[in-house]
Amino acid sequence: MPISTLVILIALLTTAPVSVGAFDFTFPWIDREASFEITETLVLDYHDDNLDYGEFGPNPYNDDYGDIRNRLNLKLTVEEFSFSARVDTTTFIQAPKDPGVKIKYLDRYAPEKLTASYHGRNLQVDLGDFYASFGRAIALRIRKTDELSEDTTLLGAKIRAQLGPVDITGLGGLSNPSNWDGVTEKTLKDPYDLISGLSVAVRPMESLVLRAHGVGVIIDPLEQNQRAQGLIEGAFLPEYALVFGGAIEVIELAELADLYAEFNWMEKELKLPDLPAADGWAAYFGGNLYMGDLTLTAEFKSYSDYELFSETDSASGKYKPERLHYIRPPTLEPEDMDVTNNHDVTGARLKIDWRPWGGDTVLFASYAGFVADDPTFQNQPDKSRWIYNLQVGMEQFFLKRGRAKVDVGLREEVPDWAGGDRHHLFYLDADVKVPIGARHSLSAQGFNWWAHTMEAPSAYDYLRGEWTLAYSWSPHLTVGVILGYDTKFSQSRDLEIITDFAGYPVRQVFFAGSLTVNLSSRVVFNLLAGQIRGGPKCVSGACRVFPPFAGVRLETVIRL
């Protein structure tokens, strides 16, 4: 994308007149109060050479191109009724073409999410696209996960009715991920998996809730029916999964404790790669004990072959294959740990929070210990490994609006069959905000990892981190600088901006600047220029690899 074109687009965008009035009105004839909300998000990207390294050397097929993305959200609310729609468009400018890869950058202009809802006092009905969650995301979890750039809904119907102490939720629909992948900028095809579920919660007393639920998943029933026509056999069994479970929740027991226990059984007949073929089960228990200034949190979980996901189709060569997780059980560690196995683990976690004399200081410490299977060593007689995660830290409040939180942790993986440490990680997290006057502040946040890993044929060390220093004039302006680093690919601790690895340049240090301008909370401009560190990101065992970004990004959000 020529720089002159980018400058012209920025100038037109930042000088365009914008109306910031609210759309609140009364419908004639029916005499009902209504409101109309519009959120317009426009993103302009120019991708420079990010110096990433693929399996066979440098990867030039995500460099030197531009894209224009637009997301228009519309929502009409008439008392208990609401109607919403989202239209997404993507236009590429001089997109790179890889002759050896069929999956190309494709322009897209289409509606993405449509919903009609009625939310009354005892009855809620959603038609179209909706999110869903049963249990503590152990039985079902269809939600938006910004950290992984995933936004999957169900396209169908959901009904929730409250009949005195009984709360009933029924749902059914086809899985509907956003068809544009925000990580790879490639197009995804809807998998058309049929998902249905029923949840019943009974509250016999104020402090006790009993729950039972069931979920059924049929993988791409439309495609399965087409295949069935060509079968000579008289019987046809689709790929499916069934989850049945229940939970008990005790709320404010004697004003001292909260308790939660859940168990689920999963039966599945699926043939997806990396998906455990055996039936699975999941048991989870968690509780909080309140003792004045001291809070004790305890968790226990045991999962066995408990994983359920689908994959988008790529048979035509036009679409990017991507994994869609339909459950997201709780973990015993921080969610951002690079941990892919959250389906074959057994262990517990204990955490203590102490606020001495009810003051402005909070001290905390947690310890998690559990055993997990290692899927990379299936042929070993004992493929399990022990994992320990110890974390300590403190949070301090000061100057009314000031806050400082710092914690350090040590994570060890010790396989039984090999001896010694397979993975050793020492990590630091910090988040500090220092007020300067009534509306000005300085903030710093980020993390640092010191890691040692044992992978064939040898062991190596690496550093990984990202830090942001920002100045804010609330709520109008924020200016920040971002410093990132990752030496895992080059395995060099020297932290050169460009280091030579196998004869190819690989970026190790990433530096970027950011600017946010807020105009009356109706129009927000976000400008990013420089390089942003990529790498794996995980949430509760679901992980994606983000490519590093180098270039310029301008995002404009207008709310009416």
Q: DSSP for 271-297, please give it.
A: --TTS--S-EEEEEEEEEEEETTEEEE
Per-residue pLDDT at 54: 65
Per-residue pLDDT at 81: 93
420 versus 115: the higher-pLDDT residue is: 115
Structural domain contains residue 317 = yes
> What's the predicted TM-score (pTM) here?
0.86
Structural domain contains residue 284 = yes
- Whether 3 shows a pLDDT value over 60: the answer reads no
CB count within 10 Å of CB 456 equals 6
Identify the domain containing residue 271 by its residue range: 120-328
Q: Which residues pair with 442 in a beta bridge?
A: 434, 471
Tokens of 440: 């000005």
Task: List the single range of 9-23, 88-102, 494-508 with lowest mean pLDDT.
Answer: 9-23
The DSSP letter of residue 187 is: B
- Whether 5 shows a pLDDT value over 50: the answer reads no
C-beta separation of 532 from 548 below 8 A: yes
Helices (H) and strands (E) in the chain, counts: 2, 36
Work out the average pLDDT over 78-82: 91
Structural domain contains residue 470 = no
Structural domain contains residue 133 = yes
Structural domain contains residue 521 = no
Distance CA 326, CA 246 (A): 18
Q: Mention every residue, 6+ apart, whose C-beta is less than 8 A from residue 177.
A: 150, 151, 152, 153, 188, 190, 191, 312, 322, 324
**Minimal CA–CA distance to 377: which of 411, 344, 400?**
344
By CB atoms closer than 10 A (0-12, 13-18, 19+), residue 438 is exposed
Q: Mention every residue, 6+ apart, whose C-beta is less than 8 A from residue 386.
A: 369, 370, 371, 412, 413, 414, 415, 416
Helix (H) or strand (E) holding 201: strand 194-205
pLDDT tens digits, 212-223: 999 999 988 876
Per-residue pLDDT at 152: 93
Lookup result for tokens 């939970």? 247
Tokens of 156: 């169908």
Distance CA 67, CA 71 (A): 13
Per-residue pLDDT at 506: 82
Structural domain contains residue 252 = yes
Structural domain contains residue 167 = yes
Q: Which amino acid is at 11?
A: A
Per-residue pLDDT at 457: 58
Structural domain contains residue 263 = yes
180 versus 339: the higher-pLDDT residue is: 180
User: Domains in the chain: how many in total?
Assistant: 1
pLDDT tens digits, 255-300: 899 999 999 999 998 888 778 888 999 999 999 999 999 999 999 9
Per-residue pLDDT at 345: 93
Per-residue pLDDT at 2: 42
247 versus 59: the higher-pLDDT residue is: 247
